[in-house]
Amino acid sequence: MSTEKSLYQPNPEFAKNAYIPSMDAYWELQNRAIEDYEGFWKGFADEKIDWLAPYDKVLDESNAPFYEWFTNGKLNVSNQCIDRHLADKADKTAILFEGDRGDVEKITYAQLSQRVNKMANLLKNEFGVTKGDRVVLYMPMIPEAAYAMLACARIGAVHSIVFGGFSAEALKDRIEDAQAKIVITADGAYRKGKPYLLKNVVDDALFRGGESIEAVLVVKRNNEPIEWVEGRDHNYNELIRSQSDVCPFEIMDSEDPLFLLYTSGSTGKPKGVQHSSAGFILWAQMTTEWVFDVKGDDIFWCTADVGWITGHTYIVYGPLAAGTTTVMFEGVPIYPDAGRAWKMVQDHKITQFYTAPTAIRVLHKMGKDEPKKYDLSSLKVLGTVGEPIDPAAWKWYYETVGNSKCAIVDTWWQTETGGHIITPLPGATPIKPGCATFALPGIMTEILSYEGISKEAGEPGLLCITKPWPSMIRNIWGDPERYKKAYFGDVAKDGKPVYFSGDGAVADEAGYITIVGRVDDVINVSGHRMGTAEIEAAVKEDNSVAEVAVVGCPHDIKGESIFIYIVLKEGHINADIKNHINELLATEIGNIAKADHIIEVPGLPKTRSGKIMRRILRSIAKHEEITQDISTLEDPSIVKQIETTAREA
Ligand code: WTA
């Protein structure tokens, strides 16, 4: 149970001016949402969105679970993020870019407007990109990535960003699934002081397939030599010069898709999570304000990559909709040394710093006292996302980085939720380390059983969201059946299907929610989501492999690492199997999918009906004692054999 004493109270000075200054204020908002759900959302939608035509209905549930928000309302997200700020923020820095090699560029809202308008014109006039077309971005962390996103939003094209760590094969799959018309990429960028390449991966992807692509637009960042396909490849830096900086924005419907973002689930191939325009941008802005409390001259830094949802919502859309200054960083926080991030905080007087537990663990391990060498007094709010944060990392982050005066917002959310769901509020919530605390006002979460029964305090259960919310996923691109099944197929409450996140959670007597982790077959490596099914499919490409099972295994730095069990086909001996499988994973998915452990076993633990008992494999990977009943296995003796092999490996 949470006792007042074990909680970290908000800094009273900070709370005074916070958006949500107390738990009373929190409850006032949340009770308003409980009493009048649509009225609650209407109030914020009217306040925050520059409607070009009014909506008729706040929430349309008639075609559940295909919920619609702000039906028939008209807006444009690039107007939300740029144009409407020009009256009073034209000269304010919108994007503060720092390159890997220390080069800094400050892009004002006026400049952002010019560059986004030019890029929108380029896409429209040179490549015929129009409303509804899909545009794939395979980009480094440079401002042009944000321009491209906003240019798409301006002309109504749907962007689909593929993280630069994904392989050519994975890029090709995503291009094909979305039937994209154009790819925007860069020659490459810089990491740890050295140039690296991206364009070659696009070339390879288009060699493998991706026939829908008509053009590749290449931003020159590092000017490394690259291959050039005449007629297909186009030089952004040259073409952009002659574009007009006036491109009237398209009038978009609330429900028009803003972007797709592919993410892994427990089965099958990655799915294209489809987000809306109005609901998404509303919640992106509201959570940026509430959770990070950005205001005035704040400088907000989210260290994610734009290839992940965190980069979408909290590098680009949320901060810009809120009219703040957002930092974009090309490099890694440990180069040239473990003080890089802290030096950036000092140099730019960063006020909010948002990162992943993995990064905190690395920074802690590599430079425990490093933060003390820098002036970090500008910091007000620290945030984490992507995985549970362990108490040791939390404590260091709180005491050494935040000087025991900054709240840590441990934000739980997902690609599918579009924005934060459960998180402390920096001016209100008494914080329990490692605990995501409470659902935000307007969000109705419950911890349920598969039968839809609420769990008691202390009892772990399935983390569900029982009412639709504006920034929720709208569909899986091209696969509405899968959308229904993946998110609304497992849990129903009072007969009504509810959104199940795939995570387990537990609440204490005071209602504090702690995330337990995924209960499905999704692995979280350094905050990167990967499906075991996807990894298994890649491993099966090796023709000496008869059977494979993939599980997650706890890892000090990465949170989880990939652990693979393989059974070779009879008569096959493959001395180099481990390297070969890791090469395959790098080719099929990307380097992030490489396994730490690959062991060859004589068989897998299966029930008589042929189902692989992953729980047993998870216990073995963790060197835990097997407590499950193994008598129902087809061959119980296999467990001992696997354990012995695992121990020797
Ligand atoms: C996990 C990232 C514990 C969780 C925004 C979720 C977390 C998955 C937290 C989504 C947190 C995210 N504490 N676990 N604060 N935040 N997760 O789609 O398992 O890349 O389902 O979105 O990350 O990962 P995704």
Tens digits of residue pLDDT in 456-515: 999 999 999 999 999 999 999 999 999 999 999 999 999 999 999 999 999 999 999 999
Buried b (16+ CB within 10 A) or exposed e, 345-378: bbebebbbbbbbbbbbbbbbeebeebbeebebee
pLDDT score, position 78: 98
| Distance from Cα 520 to the centre of ligand 1, integer Å | 13
The ligand 1 atom at the shortest distance from the C-alpha of residue 423 is 15
Cα 269 to Cα 264: distance, rounded to the nearest angstrom = 7
Q: Which of 139-143, 388-392, 575-579, 638-642 has the highest mean pLDDT?
A: 139-143
What average pLDDT does range 183-202 have in this prediction?
A: 98
| Distance from Cα 503 to the centre of ligand 1, integer Å | 8
Ligand 1, atom 14: closest residue by C-alpha: 387
Share of the chain above pLDDT 70, in %: 99
Range 444-449 contact pairs with CB under 8 angstroms and sequence separation of 24 or more = 444/33, 444/34, 444/469, 445/421, 445/513, 446/493, 446/498, 447/505, 447/506, 447/507, 447/513, 448/491, 448/493, 448/498
Residue 111's identity, in one-letter code, is: Q
Extents of the domains making up the chain: 526-648
Q: How far is CA 362 from CA 332, 384, 595, in A?
A: 11, 14, 19
Cα 197 to Cα 382: distance, rounded to the nearest angstrom = 32
The ligand 1 atom at the shortest distance from the C-alpha of residue 263 is 18
SS3 266: coil
Ligand 1, atom 24: closest residue by C-alpha: 414
Which range, of 4-13, 102-111, 327-336, 603-612, averages the lowest pLDDT? 4-13
229: Cβ–Cβ under 8 A, 6 or more apart, which residues? Answer: 203, 216
Distance of alpha carbon 412 from the chain centroid:
11
Cα 234 to Cα 153: distance, rounded to the nearest angstrom = 21
| Distance from Cα 395 to the centre of ligand 1, integer Å | 20
The ligand 1 atom at the shortest distance from the C-alpha of residue 528 is 20
What average pLDDT does range 23-51 have in this prediction?
A: 98
Residue 350 near residue 383 (C-beta atoms within 8 A): no
8-state DSSP, 291: H
Q: Within 13 Å and on the Cβ side, how many CA atoms surround 330?
A: 27
The ligand 1 atom at the shortest distance from the C-alpha of residue 529 is 20
631: Cβ–Cβ under 8 A, 6 or more apart, which residues? Answer: none
| Distance from Cα 307 to the centre of ligand 1, integer Å | 15
Residue 340's identity, in one-letter code, is: R
**pLDDT above 70 for 125:** yes
Give the dihedral sign, CA 548/554/555/559: positive
Ligand 1, atom 15: closest residue by C-alpha: 412
**pLDDT above 80 for 384:** yes
Residue 589 near residue 622 (C-beta atoms within 8 A): no
Residue of 412, 422, 473, 525 best suited for mutating to test ligand 1, as the one with most atoms within 8 Å of CB: 412
| Distance from Cα 252 to the centre of ligand 1, integer Å | 30
The ligand 1 atom at the shortest distance from the C-alpha of residue 310 is 5
| Distance from Cα 313 to the centre of ligand 1, integer Å | 14
Class of domain 526-648: alpha beta
Ligand 1, atom 12: closest residue by C-alpha: 386
What average pLDDT does range 338-367 have in this prediction?
A: 97
SS3 41: helix
Ligand 1, atom 22: closest residue by C-alpha: 414
Summary mean pLDDT of the chain: 96
**pLDDT above 70 for 162:** yes
| Distance from Cα 52 to the centre of ligand 1, integer Å | 34
Ligand 1, atom 23: closest residue by C-alpha: 386
Residue 631's identity, in one-letter code, is: S
The ligand 1 atom at the shortest distance from the C-alpha of residue 522 is 19
pLDDT score, position 161: 98
pLDDT classification of 1: cutoffs 50, 70, 90? very low
**pLDDT above 70 for 3:** no
Residue of 262, 308, 387, 423 best suited for mutating to test ligand 1, as the one with most atoms within 8 Å of CB: 387
Residue 94 near residue 107 (C-beta atoms within 8 A): yes
- Cα-atom radius of gyration of the chain, to the nearest Å? 24
Binding-site residues, ligand 1, Cβ < 6 A: 263, 308-310, 385-388, 410-415, 436, 501-503, 515, 518, 524, 529
CB atoms within 10 A of CB 111: 18
| Distance from Cα 389 to the centre of ligand 1, integer Å | 11
pLDDT score, position 269: 87
User: For 249-263, what is the HEC assignment?
Assistant: CCCEECCCCCEEEEE
Torsion of CA 334, 339, 343, 346, to 10 degrees: 130
SS3 281: helix
**pLDDT above 70 for 524:** yes
Q: What is the rounded end-to-end Cα distance, in angstroms, of the chain? A: 41
pLDDT classification of 610: cutoffs 50, 70, 90? confident
SS3 14: helix
Residue of 384, 408, 413, 465 best suited for mutating to test ligand 1, as the one with most atoms within 8 Å of CB: 413
Q: Which of 123, 212, 217 has its CA nearest to residue 175? A: 212
453: Cβ–Cβ under 8 A, 6 or more apart, which residues? Answer: none
8-state DSSP, 636: T
Ligand 1, atom 11: closest residue by C-alpha: 412
SS3 555: strand
| Distance from Cα 263 to the centre of ligand 1, integer Å | 12
Residue 203 near residue 138 (C-beta atoms within 8 A): no
Provide the token pair at 99: 């390159």
pLDDT score, position 253: 98
Q: Within 13 Å and on the Cβ side, how many CA atoms surround 233?
A: 17
Cα 420 to Cα 283: distance, rounded to the nearest angstrom = 8
pLDDT score, position 626: 86
**pLDDT per residue as tens digits for the range 56-67:** 999 999 999 999
| Distance from Cα 356 to the centre of ligand 1, integer Å | 10
| Distance from Cα 519 to the centre of ligand 1, integer Å | 12
pLDDT score, position 628: 82
Ligand 1, atom 5: closest residue by C-alpha: 414
| Distance from Cα 303 to the centre of ligand 1, integer Å | 15
**pLDDT above 60 for 4:** no
Q: How far is CA 45 from CA 67, 73, 280, 468, 474, in A?
A: 16, 10, 11, 15, 18
SS3 177: helix
The ligand 1 atom at the shortest distance from the C-alpha of residue 415 is 18
Distance of alpha carbon 545 from the chain centroid:
32
Ligand 1, atom 6: closest residue by C-alpha: 414
Ligand 1, atom 10: closest residue by C-alpha: 414
Q: Is 573 exposed, middle or buried (0-12, 13-18, 19+ CB in 10 A)?
A: exposed
Cα 64 to Cα 311: distance, rounded to the nearest angstrom = 29
**pLDDT above 60 for 5:** no
Higher-confidence position of 609 and 426: 426
Q: Which of 31, 64, 32, 60 has its CA nearest to residue 496? A: 64
| Distance from Cα 425 to the centre of ligand 1, integer Å | 18
| Distance from Cα 240 to the centre of ligand 1, integer Å | 38
pLDDT score, position 102: 98
| Distance from Cα 415 to the centre of ligand 1, integer Å | 8
